[in-house]
Amino acid sequence: MHGGGRGKLAVHFPNGSRIVGLSEVPDHVRGLSAPTLILVDEAAFFKGDEIFEAVMPMVATRPDGAVWLMSTPKGHTGFFYELWHDDSGPWRRVRVTAAEIPHRIPASFLAEQERRNPQQYRREYCCEFLAADEALFSREALDMLLTDQVEPL
């Protein structure tokens, strides 16, 4: 493993393929040419959508290129939340909860986490997009207040 540029670590394989680790700083991510696959880990925790906007042009010139956004949900804001809930886009969504992989996390551990902090448990282990703990109103409650059935003034 060695440095492969600003903020990059790379592993090169005998068949010519490589894995490149990129920085979480959007300006340091740019410039990778035609990758086959880009994995963005914990996508919901990036500030703004700068990382998303930086990686998308990289796959534009490669018809078989793909971007995988993987994350634990984080509230009702951000590009990951918006993409997850926008059914009009091309994204395939896969949700895997801790209960669906019992060989990975013991049931006794999950039960203790749920008992200690149900909100945190639902976010971290059930992959639920929940409103921030400090939110006065939920997004669902605010959405119910909006309608397009009223004529504008």
Cβ neighbours, 10 Å, residue 52: 18
- Residue whose tokens read 């551990």: 109
Give the residue among 109, 122, 89 at the shortest CA–CA distance from 79: 89
User: Is 99's pLDDT higher than 60?
Assistant: yes
The region, left, alpha or beta by phi > 0 then psi within -120 to 50, assigned to residue 139 is alpha
CATH fit for domain 1-94, picks 3.40.50.300, 1.20.1250.20, 3.90.1170.30, 3.30.420.40: 3.40.50.300
20-33 average pLDDT score: 77
Q: Write the pLDDT tens digit of every residue in 59-68.
A: 888 888 899 9
Provide the residue ranges of all domains of the chain, joining segments of one domain with +.
Answer: 1-94, 97-153
75-81 average pLDDT score: 88
User: Is 3's pLDDT higher than 60?
Assistant: no
pLDDT of residue 137: 65
Give the confidence band of 105 by pLDDT, cuts at 50, 70, 90: very high
Q: Write the pLDDT tens digit of every residue in 109-125.
A: 999 999 999 999 999 99
pTM of the model: 0.74
Give the confidence band of 142 by pLDDT, cuts at 50, 70, 90: low
Dihedral (CA of 36, 40, 46, 49) sign: positive
Q: Residue by residue, what is the 3-state secondary structure of the chain?
A: CEECCCCCEEEECCCCCEEEECCCCHHHHCCCCCCCEEEEECHHHCCCCHHHHHHHHHHCCCCCCEEEEECCCCCCCCHHHHHHHCCCCCCCCCCCCHHHCCCCCCHHHHHHHHHHCHHHHHHHHHCCCCCCCCCCCCHHHHHHHCCCCCCCC
